[in-house]
Structure 1
């Protein structure tokens, strides 16, 4: 529950610190009138003035015992030491020769340490702010890149530093020497492996990569003992394979595999191989667990077993708006951003003419079994076709139940039902063969439907919408639903049933969320 909200500075907040009484908060960053402010957590009243810097403040730390002290560090190459409360300027520390990126008090408050782009670590007296020494000044294996973060061990005997040279180093403060180095990225020189943050909490030592990966460190291992990965940008597509691996793709072109059939479900793995550059627009899974990934650069590539599958990519002629793949994986039906409808087979895509309507195609789906294709159009109609080689043969069936542009289509597992979602947030459930209406009561979203998925037994369906909500629908009792509100800030990109009683959702917030259902 939110207790209070304050705006201590006008711009970005880079760091916050609490005092030992948990009454005072120090917030620093980039503001127009000031770069930092200290205030009471409950009332927001000012408890001092954070002065002395000429450029944005990168980090701060507060002494947890009395007498109260605080220290900040900045892009101006200095640290500033404060007495309080009320907190006021005491002295400027000018020992660094470049940006000062982080500063932290030790447990026990006897010292604080600062690190910067000059690759140096300085140790100061925690009460007076006087310089004690440069840590391991003569070390031959010191960092070769800017140091971005520093943390103390719980006993205050060691420091861990994270650097742009893609290493984390452990320092014995009493012995004044380097004791261990952890290299991140297995020799890679990619900027993604630069280390930009860390924390030492109890027995857990964590360092953050520029890519967003979380590295679990150990004093006993020369490389991270575990890496937690995921998306840093909005997820724009997802597909669940029959082997219960959820593939997700994001705005930056990254593809992750989440194996929910393993002993450690919910742990992501980066898909290996050279993927196309650019935003991922759509994804679809075949029965053989291959996943088609459509990119903004007008191509489709295939992923299998958490790696790029063999074979060249398929050029579509434009970025895909919607992808559907046959159960055998040998045919793809795609609706493109240039309003074309194409069928791709054997590495080649062929444009399909739709003469039955002047309206433009917007979404497509293929039945799991008999090759029936549904295409949704801008005028709210849906037409069905038989897949014949690289052609689509119109069956004559037309569904005109929706009044808005069709944005999502999905056949039930048996192929006898078709769920049709539109730009107005409504879902019509119809008989796939005849087009007869089954129910029009799935109408509780307030914005565009982005994704629909079916439970394996076909008794329920789930939908995700731009409104950020996820709704689980009951086929037998259309008014009986499970409404999960505000699941993803910015909208739900995709939904999937992991089992009859479990669903996963992805969204613009870059997260994957799993819900267990009780009907």
Structure 2
């Protein structure tokens, strides 16, 4: 079952039916890590911001560990597949269970004084060796993970250790690589230095033992591949001329005899070891976003699985065929739902716009990116900044971003074909049919047919918008709701609704347009739009502890879903106003959007970059019967 997990032993809600997680964190000129579960190579894991993402490359099932408070820099499965160790930018190491629903935390220690670069498990899943920035201390450390005790002394490096590997068979050995151009070999346990060399002439980026432990391969920014004897650490061979740029990562195939490398020359290659022949070359494109920055070997039939600079994941079934997994790199800031097609659209802090659909009714959502627009080189984003609002019309998606423009994307082709200048940053938006209203700091702009139809100046800053038919409502920064009548060439204000105790940050009409839900800094209120906006619910739905960022009505009009920056998802019932359903920790860092896709299913998005589906039907029927 898909799940979110915290640093504490919290069993995930059974209502959480699927998660579509964010893509790996990437940076130009730096290798990115991805690895597999030794017991089931269909499962891969990688760091993504402050999270550890675990996903199945066949079924799209996934789960996310959310226990770190700073960016995760490395993560690996234990060799028995029961645990995961992860290190972060503060030097903390965490170990947590991977084979239980609660994914319980087993260990948290300050392993190094600075960021952890890499880690490796021993073959018995008892010890973990960590490499990174030790400050004035050691840059490599090995611990017995269930006690936290040290398993040796790791001298030899005078700069940050970049990579480490552990021989899985007796006699146990460890090799580390560093920014000091050296590889250091350790024997034990207890481990102590047993040799070192400087056959690299630049940073050592990755070192890995072969599956049988007989060989070690190191790669570096000097474009060299070095091969060492596995038991003694003796240097056997240097392979050059394979890549034209720095080599970021190296991974052995399970059967040994060949490795997968990824390089700054934009390629991934399969190379025989020790021969050094290039068996396959993979080039995923010439654009900056398609540069290969990391990889591993995954699947029951071992295949290269690589990360590009855009974070996109590629399963390379042949040099010309690839299965691609898209997503967001960063938080999801906006979302919209097209009921006729069942498609969800999202906009992210990365500037991307994605459409999400389900291959089967029971599978997780998978995404397709919009193309065109700003076409940012690093990630092919359609906006040059965060996508703060998103609306779907009859045939297009209208997204507004911090590049101060609204872009029009065709829903069929996901090609961005139009651009409208807003003259300022978008604050909120709402739509009905083909009419989209976008607010900037002091104006409301009506967009139809790919252009601005009219602009209305306002004397407040808009926080939220909802549209139904010819009625437009806005929430302002003075705790009021403004009601407008849409006309052919403008809007006329008809009413100002007062009563909220905080700024109104979210608004939503029910399907018929007869009821309006409004959320402020802690309370959801319901207003009767068909009766001069008289209050229907007041003072009862105030269990959010901070700003309410999204509201959605069920098709039947009986239930309202709300999400907020307090990480909570609530379900409310008009007939049972004193009852509520609460799903805590829905998205770490806060929720940003919610839609009710059909009665019984709610989809949420948030700062964690995840799109989560909740099967709430049974609990709704039980709670509000």
Correspondent of 1:372 among 471, 480, 493:
471
CA contact (8 A) 1:119 1:146 kept: yes
Aligned to 1:38: 142
CA contact (8 A) 1:37 1:49 kept: yes
**Aligned partners of 2:247, 2:489: CA distance in 1, in Å?**
57
Shift of 1:80: 1.0
Runs (5+) with no aligned partner, structure 2: 1-103, 374-381, 621-625
User: Within 5 Å, which residues of 2 pair with 1:10-49?
Assistant: 10-33=113-136, 34-49=138-153
CA contact (8 A) 1:246 1:257 kept: yes
CA contact (8 A) 2:460 2:476 kept: yes
Correspondent of 1:270 among 340, 360, 369:
369
Quick one: structure 1 residues 40 and 265, their matched pair in 2 at CA, closer, same or farther if it must change by over 3 Å?
closer
Count of equivalent residues: 500
Answering whether residue 229 of structure 2 is matched by residue 122 of structure 1, we say: no
Shift of 1:310: 6.5
Correspondent of 2:585 among 476, 479, 486:
486
Answering whether residue 492 of structure 2 is matched by residue 389 of structure 1, we say: no
**Aligned partners of 2:132, 2:205: CA distance in 1, in Å?**
12
Aligned to 2:334: 237
**Aligned partners of 1:484, 1:504: CA distance in 2, in Å?**
12
Aligned to 2:248: 148
**Aligned partners of 2:316, 2:528: CA distance in 1, in Å?**
55
Shift of 1:322: 0.3
Shift of 1:130: 0.5
**Aligned partners of 1:379, 1:40: CA distance in 2, in Å?**
58
**Aligned partners of 1:461, 1:402: CA distance in 2, in Å?**
18
- 1:304-331 CA distances to partner (integer Å, 9 max, x unpaired)? 226555654222221111011231x1x3
Runs (5+) with no aligned partner, structure 1: none
CA contact (8 A) 1:302 1:308 kept: no
Aligned to 1:281: 388
Quick one: structure 1 residues 359 and 177, their matched pair in 2 at CA, closer, same or farther if it must change by over 3 Å?
closer
- 1:222-267 CA distances to partner (integer Å, 9 max, x unpaired)? 1352111111122111111232221111112111211237677511
Quick one: structure 1 residues 191 and 372, their matched pair in 2 at CA, closer, same or farther if it must change by over 3 Å?
closer
Quick one: structure 1 residues 306 and 43, their matched pair in 2 at CA, closer, same or farther if it must change by over 3 Å?
farther
**Aligned partners of 1:151, 1:438: CA distance in 2, in Å?**
62
User: Within 5 Å, which residues of 2 pair with 1:337-416?
Assistant: 338-345=441-448, 347-348=451-452, 350-354=454-458, 360-367=461-468, 370-396=469-495, 398-416=496-514
**Aligned partners of 1:248, 1:181: CA distance in 2, in Å?**
34
CA contact (8 A) 2:398 2:406 kept: yes
Q: Secondary structure at the match of 2:439?
A: strand
Answering whether residue 277 of structure 2 is matched by residue 181 of structure 1, we say: no
Shift of 1:297: 2.1
Aligned to 1:426: 523
Calculate the TM-score normalised by the size of structure 2.
0.76
**Whose radius of gyration is greater, 1 or 2?**
1
CA contact (8 A) 2:428 2:462 kept: no
**Aligned partners of 1:91, 1:170: CA distance in 2, in Å?**
29
**Aligned partners of 2:601, 2:613: CA distance in 1, in Å?**
7
**Aligned partners of 1:379, 1:400: CA distance in 2, in Å?**
9
CA contact (8 A) 2:217 2:227 kept: yes
Correspondent of 1:326 among 423, 432, 444:
432
Shift of 1:127: 0.4
Answering whether residue 588 of structure 2 is matched by residue 503 of structure 1, we say: no
Aligned to 1:171: 271
CA contact (8 A) 1:124 1:131 kept: yes
Calculate the TM-score normalised by the size of structure 1.
0.91
- 1:374-408 CA distances to partner (integer Å, 9 max, x unpaired)? 11122222121111123212223x43231100100
**Aligned partners of 2:425, 2:407: CA distance in 1, in Å?**
12
Shift of 1:349: 5.8
**Aligned partners of 2:179, 2:478: CA distance in 1, in Å?**
56
Shift of 1:7: 1.0
Quick one: structure 1 residues 306 and 469, their matched pair in 2 at CA, closer, same or farther if it must change by over 3 Å?
farther
Aligned to 2:3: none
After TM superposition, the structure 1 stretch with the greater mean CA deviation from structure 2, 35-44 or 311-320, is 311-320
CA contact (8 A) 1:276 1:297 kept: yes
Aligned to 2:210: 106
CA contact (8 A) 2:253 2:302 kept: no
**Aligned partners of 1:42, 1:241: CA distance in 2, in Å?**
49
Shift of 1:15: 1.0
CA contact (8 A) 2:409 2:417 kept: no
CA contact (8 A) 2:154 2:192 kept: yes
Shift of 1:417: 0.7
CA contact (8 A) 1:270 1:306 kept: no
CA contact (8 A) 2:118 2:130 kept: yes
Aligned to 1:465: 564
Correspondent of 1:299 among 390, 402, 405:
405
**Aligned partners of 2:299, 2:225: CA distance in 1, in Å?**
20
Quick one: structure 1 residues 438 and 73, their matched pair in 2 at CA, closer, same or farther if it must change by over 3 Å?
same
